[in-house]
Structure 1
Amino acid sequence: MNVRRRSSAAALAAIAVIGAAAAPAAAADPSSSPSAPAAKSPGSSGLYGTADPQYDGVWRQSLALLAQDTAGVTPSPKAVDWLTGQQCANGAFAPFRADTAKPCDAKTMVDTNSTAAAVQALWALGGRGDVVESALTWLKSVQNKDGGWGYTPGGPSDANSTAVVIGALTATGSKPEQVAKDGKDPYDALLTFALPCAKDKGAGAFAFQPDKDGKLLANADATAAGVLGALGKGLVTEAGAKSGAATCTDAGKPTREQAAANGAAHLADALAEDGHLKSALGGSADQPDYGNTADAVVALAAQGGADKAAGPLAWLEKNAAKWAGESGPAAYAQLILAAHATGADPRDFGGTDLVAALNATGPSPQGGKVTDSAAASDADDAKEKDDKDDSGFGVWWFVGVCLVFGIGVGFLLSGRNKKRQP
């Protein structure tokens, strides 16, 4: 998930500096999307977090619900209803709809990432089969001819969007290899973004998309997404079977399993020096990338067992609490999902109760109220940070803006089969 955790104003300014490409024909101008004021208090509307949900409401809500479910918490019906209420009549989800009584139209910026994340969350919770089925039908209807998905319907496929849709398919019991367009399935598309094991810093990684010259450039966020997608995993996953150290191996076109191992080897190398990934934007100095590090932990554990993620997990336990408190519910959710994937205790994550802190950012879960004083303090702090985004979801908040303009990064996936689609 990622790197660019910043306010909407800062993200839009970054786009202007970078010099964005023209938006895909299927996407509306971000300025046309409705803007909503921050909630007056955590959970007052059913939404987690207090920051403007314009670009990440559905994403952070989905992650929050998934994280609560993995921690054995039954979310508030109010929170679940908020998410289901965001769905358009055609089954798609936009990042946020301020007026859900108004039907979606051509200007509603629906996207595959929000939709696939909502599918995973609602399927895991159960009881929303009609919403899930409608969303899956829409996702299949916007599949590209190469077998993959772009962020916006009709946009060129990218590794992150393809991976999160794979997660939605597998979470609901569907087999991605059977969801094909013109003879190409999602795995065919995903493997086109895998870099060969050349002796350079990009060996084994996944690219987000080819650049303007058609070259594949290594991207840590896309690599974490690509590993999980290649394994057929989603946002929620447990540690895979223990294996030796992942190595990058070229043998013609890689299998899905080898592409995942190659990607894991790349992530392990990138984490070896400092125990965390780094990010920089606009020429600024490198900064610790907490979100992508959490995603890397999940990917490494899924590919080769929890011990492969021990180093970056320990770094997160020591350093990530302040970041999560400043970033909001999706950040807490990412850390909970990393703990789940490695078998760590999310209620004692470097001394922080991530579950209580997440619960404090939204409506009280069923069967209990938030009593943890530190979590309540975190919620109070969050209310004072309405100028900050709830971007623990990593790059996805930024992606929601940037991909429309042809630049991007991002990640996601998974769930549990509580009911199979027909």
Structure 2
Amino acid sequence: MALKVVIIGGGSSYTPEIMEGFLKRYEQFPVTDIVLVDVKAGEEKVKIVTALAKRMVLKAGKDIRVSYTFNRKEALQGADFVTTQIRVGGLQARAYDERIPLKHGMIGQETNGAGGIMKAFRTIPVMLEIAQEMHEICPDAWLINFTNPAGIVTEAVMNHSPFKNVIGVCNIPFNMRSGVGELFQVPAERVMIEFVGLNHFVFGRKVYIDGVDRTAEAMHHLIYDDVDYSPANIVALPWNKQFLKTLNMLPNPYHQYYFQHEQVLKKDVEAYQTNVTRAEVVMEVEEALFKKYQSPNLDVKPEELEQRGGAYYSEAACNVMTSIYNNSMDVQTVNTLNNGTITDLPADCVIEVNSVITASGPMPLSIGNLPAVISGAIVQMKQYERLVVEAAVTGDYSKAYAAMIMNPLVTSDDKAQVVLDELLHVHQSNLPQFSKEVVKQ
């Protein structure tokens, strides 16, 4: 029986990671066809990645056909699962997203603040095209989105396309479970964290080891021990002990942009001034990875891939696909529609929460009211996200500006406009929804 997976953004350096995930799960998820889709500008990379993927399959001795194409609609024919890992504008666009805000004294980051807003503006129109094509070509398939900002992108597809079989995934919950596992010296599989919130703004409210509540011990370790569960793209700073005691929940690594704003901004401005922002680092890592990928002797995922910030995302993406395929009814952390799960937030918004994964999709586990200490921050972040989606869909400049000033990392109304105008200008070729009059400012 055929089982076809389409990877949009197949020329990404992440693809060997998801290939490894498929090979590890082959007995539970017997994929027969994997099609890598990319744009013509990415031809060299997708050819390199396809050759490596074929060598990995050959080494594993599995009967999987791997191919690549630039024809997305053709690839979607007969698809059962589609994953998206696209970067509209490439790494140069990421560099603009980081460097322009930093030039004006704001945090520049690819999924948070002004940079994250612009990435959403570039990405959402393309994702809506993909969703429309899936609705027409493979309406029963599942779209597993890893493209950042994952929660915002997933909400845009949910609310502005006819296609509803979409789930957003992120590696941060997996990283946090792994970190807690290290604290208790147990495998991540024995750790369950009750996650509450939004993508890249999620909190761990409860920690369970083998079903036993160990939250108090986990917080004690986090407060008094040297603990780090940050991905490669975030340099962890020590948390204020009183902050952790008051929060009494696990923060995620991205929270440092909001709660340790001054320290992070200082570090990032120094990186900007010496031309070593994360974008420049990633460019160097990518160049080294693709040189390694070209070796005809390489037939496994190289360890160097873990230097990329999204390392281990296949644990999230492949787990979700495997569980849907098998109707596993296990609990995973995904981005999905709220539908009353968090009562403080709109029913039609997307949240990041533990869900039972079934053949019909995720069934989120009830949260109820948000804890008072985080409710205001999450409500604000969700309203900001909804403005981002509206601006991305409509190309409305006022909504774009409103999204900027509602983001906690954009600290000035005047700077918000300056940064917005500069970013709209440099990204104009990838912002068809915004008028020429807007982007030429």
Report the TM-score when normalising by structure 2: 0.34
Q: Relative contact order (alpha carbons < 8 A, sep ≥ 6): 1 or 2 greater?
A: 1
Structure with higher Rg: it is 2
Larger % of helix: which?
2
Report the TM-score when normalising by structure 1: 0.35
